[in-house]
Amino acid sequence: MIEKITAYRFERLDETLSQLNREDCAIIAGGTDVMVLHKSRRGVPPKIPKPIVFINHLSELKQVYQHHKDLHIGACCTYSELLENPLIPFALKNAIKTIAAPAIRNRGTLGGNICNASPAGDMLPLLYVYNAKLLLRSVNGDRMVAISDFIQGPRQVQRFHNEMVTEIILPFVLGDSHVVFEKVGNRNADTIAKVSFAGFVRISKDRIDDIRFAFGAVGPTMVRSIDIEKKLIGKTIPLADADIAEIVAAFDKIIRPIDDQRSTAAYRKTVALHLLRYFLSMKQYQPN
Amino acid sequence: MNLKDISTSVPKKDHKGKVSGQLPYISDVKVENMVYGVLYRSPIAYGKIISIQLPNLPDGYEAVGAEHIPGPNYVKIIKEDQPIFANEWVNYIGEPILMLTGKDLDILYSLLNEVKVEFEEHQAIYTLDEAIKQKSVSLVLASYEFGESLENISAIEQGAHQIIEEEYDTGYQEHVYLEPQGMLAVYKDDEIVVQGSMQCLYYIKNALLSALACGDDEVRVVQSPTGGGFGGKEDYPSMMACHVAVAARAVKKSVMLVFDRSEDMLVTTKRHPAKLKYRTALDKEGNILSMYVDIFLDGGANVGLSSVVLQRALLNSAGVYKIPHFHAKGYVLKTNTVPNGAFRGFGAPQSFAGIESHIGHLSKLAKIDPLAYKRKYLVKQGDPTITKGKFRDPILVEEMIEDVLNVSEYKKKKEDFQRLNQQNQRYKKGIGTSLFLHGCGFTGSGERDHIKAKVKLVKSKDDQVSLKISNSDMGQGILTTLCKIVAKELNLPFEDILYPYPDTKEVPDSGPTVASRTTMIVGKLLERAAKKLKNQWQTGVEQEVVEHYVHREMIPWDEKTFTGDAYPAYSWGVNIVEVEVDTLTGNLKLEKVYGNYEVGKVIDERIMKGQIDGGLAQGLAYGYLEKMTSKQGRIQQKSISDYGPPTSLDIVSIESKVFDNPYADGPYGAKGAGELTLIGGAPAVQAAIEDALHTSFQQIPITPEVIIESLWMKEGEEG
Ligand SMILES: Cc1cc2nc3c(=O)[nH]c(=O)nc-3n(C[C@H](O)[C@H](O)[C@H](O)COP(=O)(O)OP(=O)(O)OC[C@H]3O[C@@H](n4cnc5c(N)ncnc54)[C@H](O)[C@@H]3O)c2cc1C
């Protein structure tokens, strides 16, 4: 039984967008999420219910450049490409190195990780603390959305079917900032995060100018709280034990992970808070 | 062959085919008039089948079930308790009830969804703990007891300074052979040829003779290239072979049954989860006066090979130690879960994890370094075994320990780590050891009474010699090592010795490829056959020689009293493992792994290194990484990433050495090596974690979840 599928592969982005405007399609960038999602049992090809549009060859989606000091990353840059690019921040590269293994990193894209919106997507915690914005384009024009507004829940994003994510924008950060990412998986490669943590802090003269945290794999989307972050602005480093305890307690209330085949809710929560406390307890922060 | 030393490596016979990707595995095979089979499996853990309702089957699609089995409806292994197609009771989720066959898998999968089976559900037993609590005789699938009388033990306990009781749990382990299970029955009018991924051709042939109730020349079993077995292809393929052969008979077509990874992980056999209980009497100085061990194995839904696994677990229950006044008892209990079966080590890994843990904990009580404490009890040549057998051959473990202590700088590291750990709040380093052995070959008189191995060498007119044996190369390298033995004996080029994939029509029964027996037992028979052939050699003439197993009489094994020599020989090992534990996440980093082994004589260095590295990776992972759980009778991890076997980023390079200690009844002195290398991994990793954290653990795998919980409890105790 041979099933017919329709697949499009246009030379240019505008043609691709016109097609998306005509027809609701399944976008495939690297395909490393799509193919797994639609996998059939052995011996049967994956079943993708819509026509397919391939986009990962489009040169418009593979640029990395600075504009007004903001960093623009093309949605279809693969992880391997980003690892080689001098403009990409170290923290992001370190996170990329925790993703999958080289073969998948040769295909998987940053845009794909975002649009797949997995609670365990490993690029997401950092993109949240970088306050990343997404450029969405359709035949009607462009719009910009904050990543935290774009991602609504597991595999749910705020995208119209005629739109495509074209760029990920990391806004310029003033001064020296210290950024960390920690991924906790069951092994060191090809693993799905059980918990992940991203921390961002900018200090001037021992005072906290800006501080941000995001937790992955402990809720339907990344857990971030601007209200909690605000409590630390202006505090001096090293933080007092009482301040640290207050922040940890505040996150303790909003982190509500689940038990599954990969770990337990108790473990996820404990470790998330450990990583937060560790970040907050640092005596000094090296800019990176 | 002109190697000075048989140990010198040669290119593996199957190297090119594997590296080039050209070697066809069973799922690559297509034959004329072939259909696929898919299995309808029980969705419930325990119950009675009331009715089966099939959908309308399109042309060319058929259903095959118990009613199509010409012989009795069980898979012949040891006991007759495993149905080929369950038709009255189902005992676990995933138990096969019927097969649908047809050309198109897509159609078969949708038909499968339309099969309706009505059950009367009964209360299932899901865990070993529940089964132990029930204390019901009907759940005991096998049991043995042996050792010093209980009166003596309790008299000693009464006079003891202290009695230490510990309970230790080990989890499932999944084989994760690279190639999932697959079997094809090729239908012919007068013969069914079953081919596939397998370790034991004649187990399968015997199962087929029973299921098909047919004559010896009506079935034939052929091994296809086998991508890993680890015991997983010892017992399980017999069931699949029955499925495809019965179906082929019924539908008069060739039938292919291949699992994908998730089906394989959900329904095939695993390593038995175990509970081990220790009760040890100590004197004032912490010396052991007596020890009583209870072992419980979770057999899953039927006994399969579990009784034999239990035997090996019991035979290893005292580890490598001479324990004064020892008594042990063991049970296999039934649960309504996937049947557990053979897995590299065969009961020994559970026992060694348990005893090494227990002895390690006793050393802490005695305030003696664990390794020093262990060495006090190490068995020596001439000592009796716990079953009143004897360690006859020289034992090199002391030398192996001394060597690895030097190489690893054990003492210095212990001190360094103490200091480093005080400075580093987050990361803690630790170092741990394990001492272990493995009995080579079948337990007791199995080789003599059950296997009765027979090998054949056939020489063609052009003087090429072929090995005719029923053993499988599953990646472990016997295509190469056994040919080397014959080549060297005949002084012929290695390339002139052929070892075609075995076919029961061509090869005698040289026994299954299990129990670390192939090199030692089959290799020895081949060595003798080659000698014989050399003596009769006539250039340009077809010749054939046959050799039969000869039993060396020792202290006869008696399974009832569990006494005598359980094994003809033992291989030995020492591991040292260094770890770093992240106390924030519980994650573990292996930093260094050392292994010293004694396997008689190495037949090929590179192949031995493959066994060491692979065995250790699997054994280490059993201790801290690989985690499989079952919930309400359902296996929770059905993908490799969820289960988490180690990647190249998890394992560090392994520094190993193999000591020569030739064994008279092995070819060139070789003993078994395949299982040994797995056994020391888990206990050494546990000891290293305990050293890093100054905590005791009572289970493997020691996952990050377990570590975090224990650190949290410790924090609670301390303040
Ligand atoms: C073996 C394996 C290991 C993995 N390991 C990890 C890991 O460690 N960490 C991790 O985070 N992920 C992991 N993944 C998941 C996956 O590789 C990543 O999420 C990857 O970034 C997806 O990118 P892609 O280009 O392949 O996405 P695709 O599969 O092509 O697309 C994913 C989704 O995004 C949509 N999409 C893609 N691009 C766009 C766009 N420009 N505009 C609009 N919609 C778009 C698609 O329609 C689809 O819904 C792994 C996957 C595999 C198979």
Q: Which of A143, A147, A137, A197 is nearest to A171 (CA)?
A: A147
Compute φ and ψ for B101, nearest 5 degrees: -125, 150
Counting residues of chain B whose pLDDT is more than 70, the rounded percentage is 99
| CB contact B16 to A (< 8 Å) | no
| Residues A190 and A165 grouped into a single domain | no
Does the beta carbon of A108 lie inside 6 Å of ligand 1?
yes
Q: Which of A5, A42, A192 has the most B C-beta neighbours within 10 Å, making it the best mutation to test the interface with B?
A: A42
Indicate whether A159 and A211 sit together in one domain: no
Chain A CB contacts of B713 under 8 Å are none
CA of A103 to the centre of ligand 1 (A): 13
Question: What is the crossing angle of helices B410-423 and B681-693, to 10°?
Answer: 40
Note the pLDDT tens digit of each residue in B3-25: 789 999 999 999 999 999 999 99
* Domain-ending residue, one of B252, B267, B282: B267
- Ligand 1 atom 33: residue of nearest CA: A116
For residue B474, what are its two tokens?
A: 């599953």
Residue in A43, A186, A275 nearest the CB of B644: A186
How close is the nearest chain B Cα to the Cα of A197, in Å?
11
**A31 CB within 6 A, ligand 1:** yes
Asked if residue B103 is part of any domain, the answer here is yes
B519 and B457 together in one domain = yes
SS (H, E, C) B502-549: CECCCCCCCCCCCCCCHHHHHHHHHHHHHHHHHHHCCCCCCEEEEEEC
B455 bridge partner residues: B547
Q: Is the domain of A164 the same as that of A190? A: no
- Show which of residues 573-592 on chain B sit within 8 Å of chain A, judged by CB atoms: 584-587
pLDDT per residue over A78-121, tens digit each? 999 999 999 999 999 999 999 999 999 999 999 999 999 999 99
Q: Are residues A94 and A229 in the same domain?
A: no
| Burial annotation A78-112 (CB, 10 A radius, 16+ → b, else e) | bbbbbbeeeebbebbebbbebbbeeebbebbbbbb
* Smallest CA–CA distance from A100 into chain B, residue: B641
A244 with A184, same domain: the answer is yes
Comparing CB atoms, the residue among B584, B627, B650 nearest residue A274 is B584
Distance between CA atoms of B156 and B290, rounded to whole angstroms?
Answer: 7
**Residue at B70 is within a domain:** yes
Say if strands B162-170 and B699-700 run parallel, antiparallel, or are unpaired: parallel
Query: Are both B452 and B581 inside the same structural domain?
Result: no
As a whole number of angstroms, the distance between CA B417 and CA B389 comes to: 42
Residues 228-267 of A with CB under 8 A from B: 261-264, 266-267
Pair B429, B459 in one domain: no
Q: What CATH number does the domain containing B533 carry?
A: 3.30.365.10
Size of chain A, expressed as the number of residues it contains: 288
Q: At B316, which amino acid appears?
A: N
Print the domain residue range for B620. Answer: 367-442+563-718
Q: B246 and B262, same structural domain?
A: yes
Confirm whether B575 is domain-assigned: yes
**Same domain, residue pair B216 and B96:** yes
Q: Please tell me the total count of domains within chain B.
A: 3
pLDDT in tens, A116-148: 999 999 999 999 999 999 999 999 999 999 999
Decide if pLDDT at B719 tops 70. Answer: no
- Do A100 and A29 have their domain in common? yes
In a domain, A286, yes or no: no
- In A106-154 the beta strands, taken as DSSP E runs, fall at 133-138, 141-146, 151-153
Under an 8 A CB cutoff, do A41 and B109 touch?
Answer: yes
pTM to 2 decimal places = 0.97
pLDDT value at residue A185: 97
Is the beta carbon of A29 within 6 A of some atom in ligand 1? Answer: yes
Report the relative pairing of strands B96-102 and B34-41 from DSSP bridges.
antiparallel
Taking CA atoms, B694 is separated from B287, B428, B689, in Å, by: 22, 10, 8
pLDDT in tens, B49-101: 999 999 999 999 999 999 999 999 999 998 999 999 999 999 999 999 999 99
- Spatial neighbors of B318 by CB under 8 A, at least 6 apart, are B291, B293, B326, B328, B355, B386
Note whether residue B145 is domain-resident.
no
Tell me what pLDDT residue B447 has: 92
Mean pLDDT, range B159-164, rounded to an integer: 98
Asked if A191 is an interface residue toward chain B (Cβ–Cβ < 8 A), one would say yes
* Residue B235 is assigned to a structural domain of this protein: yes
CB contact under 8 A, A40 and B106: yes
**Pair (A54, A118) in one structural domain:** yes
Based on the domain organization, do B532 and B645 belong to the same domain?
no
Q: Do B586 and A186 touch (CB under 8 A)?
A: no
> Does A287 map to a domain?
no
User: Six-digit token pair at B510?
Assistant: 């040289």
Which strand (E) or helix (H) includes residue A112? helix A110-116
Q: Which of A136, A151, A170 is where one domain is finished?
A: A170
Q: B634 touching A, CB under 8 A?
A: no
Residue A62 near ligand 1, beta carbon < 6 Å? no
Distance A109 CA to ligand 1 centre (A): 6
- Does A36 contact ligand 1 (Cβ within 6 A)? yes
The verdict on residue B345 lying in a domain is no
CA distance B176 to B161: 47
Last-in-domain residue among B225, B241, B267: B267
Domain end position, chosen among A170, A200, A215:
A170
End-of-domain residue from the set B516, B548, B580 = B548
Distance from the Cα of B227 to chain A's closest Cα (Å) equals 18
Query: Closest to A274 (Cβ–Cβ): which among B105, B585, B645?
Result: B585
**Do A147 and A206 have their domain in common?**
no
Q: What is the CATH number of the domain that holds A251?
A: 3.30.390.50
Q: Tell me the pLDDT tens digit for each residue of B681-718.
A: 999 999 999 999 999 999 999 999 999 999 988 777 66
Least CB–CB distance from B585: residue in A40, A101, A184: A184
Whether B426 and A187 lie within 8 Å, measured CB to CB:
no
List, for residues B418-462, the tens digit of each pLDDT value: 999 999 999 999 999 999 999 999 988 889 999 999 999 999 999
Does the residue A2 lie in any domain? no
B104, B586, B703 ranked by CB distance to A1: nearest: B104
Banded pLDDT at B578 (limits 50, 70, 90): very high
Do A127 and A185 fall into the same domain?
no
Task: Note the pLDDT tens digit of each residue in B610-647.
Answer: 999 999 999 999 999 999 999 999 999 999 999 999 99
* Residue B538 forms part of a structural domain: yes
User: What is the ipTM, given to two decimal places?
Assistant: 0.96
Query: Distance, in angstroms, between A265 CA and closest chain B CA?
Result: 10
Mean of pLDDT values over B497-518:
97
Cβ atoms B40, B96 nearer than 8 A:
yes
User: B255 pLDDT band (50/70/90 cuts)?
Assistant: very high
Query: Is A188 close to B712, i.e. CB distance below 8 A?
Result: no
User: Is there a domain that residue A184 lies in?
Assistant: yes
Cβ contact, residue pair A1, B106, below 8 Å = yes
Res B3: pLDDT: 75
- In a shared domain, residues B573 and B677: yes
pLDDT tens-digit readout, B318-362 = 999 999 999 999 999 999 999 999 999 999 999 999 999 999 999
Nearest to A190 among B105, B637, B641 (CB): B641
Q: How far apart are CA B364 and CA B425, in angstroms?
A: 24
Together in a domain, A100 and A195: no
Q: Is any Cβ of chain A less than 8 angstroms from the Cβ of B40?
A: no
Q: Is A37 in the pocket of ligand 1 (CB under 6 A)?
A: no
- Chain B residues within an 8 Å CB radius of A278: 426, 584
| Domain-located, residue A194 | yes
Q: Is the pLDDT of residue B545 over 70?
A: yes
Q: Tokens representing A85?
A: 């690019």
Phi, psi for B120 (deg, rounded to 5): -105, 110
Residue of A10, A19, A32 to mutate, ligand 1, most atoms within 8 A of C-beta: A32
| Smallest CA separation from ligand 1 atom 21, residue | A113
Asked if A42 lies within 8 A of B258 by C-beta distance, the reply is yes
Same domain, A165 and A185: no
Average pLDDT over residues B97-112: 98
* Pair B514, B450: CB distance under 8 Å: no
For B426, which residue in chain A has the nearest alpha carbon? A278
Question: In terms of residue numbers, what domain contains A82?
Answer: 7-170
> In this structure, is residue B644 part of a structural domain?
yes
- The CATH number linked to B64 is 3.90.1170.50
Pinpoint the alpha helices (H) of B219-327.
236-251, 261-267, 306-315
H/E element holding B714? Answer: helix B704-718
Residue A110 included in any domain: yes
Q: What is the mean pLDDT of each run of 10 residues along chain A (288 residues)?
A: 84 98 98 96 94 97 97 98 97 97 98 98 98 98 98 97 98 88 97 98 94 98 98 97 97 97 96 98 82
**Is position A150 within any domain?**
yes
| CA B384 distance to own-chain centroid | 26
**H or E segment and range at residue B459:** strand B454-459
**What pLDDT, on the 0 to 100 scale, is given for residue A2?**
60
CA B555 distance to own-chain centroid: 26
**How many domains does chain A contain in total?**
2
- pLDDT of B543 reads 98
- B107 and B193 fall within a common domain: yes
Residue A285 lies in a domain: no
Residue B352, judged by CB atoms within 10 A of its CB (0-12, 13-18, 19+), counts as: buried
Q: Which positions in chain A touch B644 (Cβ < 8 Å)?
A: 186-187, 191
CA A155 to ligand 1 centroid distance, Å? 11
Q: Kindly tell me if the per-residue pLDDT of B127 is higher than 60.
A: yes
**Mean pLDDT, rounded, for B576-596:** 98
Residue A183 is encoded by which pair of tokens?
């991924």
Which residue, of A136, A170, A204, is where some domain finishes?
A: A170
Same domain, A67 and A148: yes
